[in-house]
Amino acid sequence: MDKIQTYEYNLEKMESSLMISVWLRVIRVRFLLASIIAVSVGLALHWSQNGSLDYFDVILTFAGVLALHASVDLLNDYWDFKRCIDTKTTRTKMSGGTGVLPEGLLKPSSVYRTGVVFLIIGSLIGSYFVITDGILIAIILGFAILSIYFYSTKIVDSGLGEFFVAVKGSMIVMGTFFIQSGEVTVESILAGIVIGTLSSLVLFIASFPDYDADKSKGRKTLVIVVGKEKAIKLFWLFPLVSYVVILIGVSVNLFPFLSLISLLSFPLMIKSGLGLQKNYDAIDNLVPFMSSTLQFSRLTGILFALSFLIPF
């Protein structure tokens, strides 16, 4: 009897572990790093100017932003499945959805409800900051709620997906800085542009493999709007904007000189852009360059955040 109970107990543990891994997969945990970096840049910028942080607000900011990020990923998976987009895509580790719903690992209704729950959690945390910090946070929160809920339908169908991601990243940086400092500065705006553009780049290149599936269901990603051949040239615009903003910030003493370490990611950017140019229409060959684009975005953001923390 003890052996049977032990077996059943181990089986339950295994099933629980598998279920947790499925939920982490549909939430796309590794992509949450984009929001972690955005919050970290806002905090690092404030620290460099004031040498202090309100740690309770830090914890709440991370919790609220990650909840909202998880919400948009869950709702995106739900709507892509309902619209039969994910059943047409060739799934890779960088594109084509998580595959959780097409594989029947979770119920669509469960994913949708969980996405809404995360949206409510993020909204409640944001409401706390509206009460403590005022109208600007209310504007950011309102934009976040509406854009998250309608991202996978109205926003992407209107060709505004990349714009939404860029604005979202910028607002996270500015909102985090504002919560700590009570003000919006030129530095926080420029830092937000850097991070928002880097996040948008990852979405941009990941939409190449999904071109046919997205187009067949009425989506209008930037790649679909301009066409693959022209989109290849647009790739370079994203890192150029981020680099130029950093250079301007350093040249006018808004960013520390050490922020130039962010440019150490340059080889990854070149590798990704040239790889896209040669393999934009071959999904398997493009995957390594989508990964290097993700690495470029994350490395640039991390180095940028560190530049505000390292004494120089």
Residue 284, in any domain of the structure: yes
Q: What is the pLDDT of residues 2-32, one digit of tens each?
A: 545 443 444 455 456 788 889 999 998 888 9
Cα 293 from chain centre: 13
Q: Assess if residue 32 is contained within a domain.
A: no
Domain count, the chain: 1
Residue 134 is assigned to a structural domain of this protein? yes
The alpha carbons of the chain give a radius of gyration, in whole angstroms, of: 20
If we measure between CA atoms, which residue out of 274, 201, 189, 151 comes closest to residue 34?
201
In a domain, 289, yes or no: yes
In a domain, 143, yes or no: yes
Residue 22 lies in a domain: no
Please check whether residue 254 is in contact with residue 190, taking contact to mean a CB–CB distance below 8 angstroms. yes
Enter the DSSP assignment of 258: G
CB atoms within 10 A of CB 68: 25
Report the C-alpha gap between 220 and 203 in whole angstroms.
Answer: 13
Would you say residue 149 has pLDDT above 70? yes
Answer whether residue 201 shows pLDDT above 90.
yes
What's the pTM? 0.92
User: Residue 12: its pLDDT value, please?
Assistant: 52
* Residue ranges making up the domain that contains 251: 44-307
Residue 120 and residue 83 in contact, taking contact as beta carbons nearer than 8 Å: no
Whether pLDDT at 161 is above 50: yes
- For residue 17, tell me if it sits in a domain: no
CATH number at residue 178: 1.10.600
Distance CA 1, CA 51 (A): 62
Residue 37 in any domain: the answer is no
Higher pLDDT, 205 or 311: 205
How confident is residue 1, by pLDDT bands cut at 50, 70 and 90?
Answer: very low
- pLDDT, one tens digit per residue, over 56-76 is 999 999 999 999 999 999 999
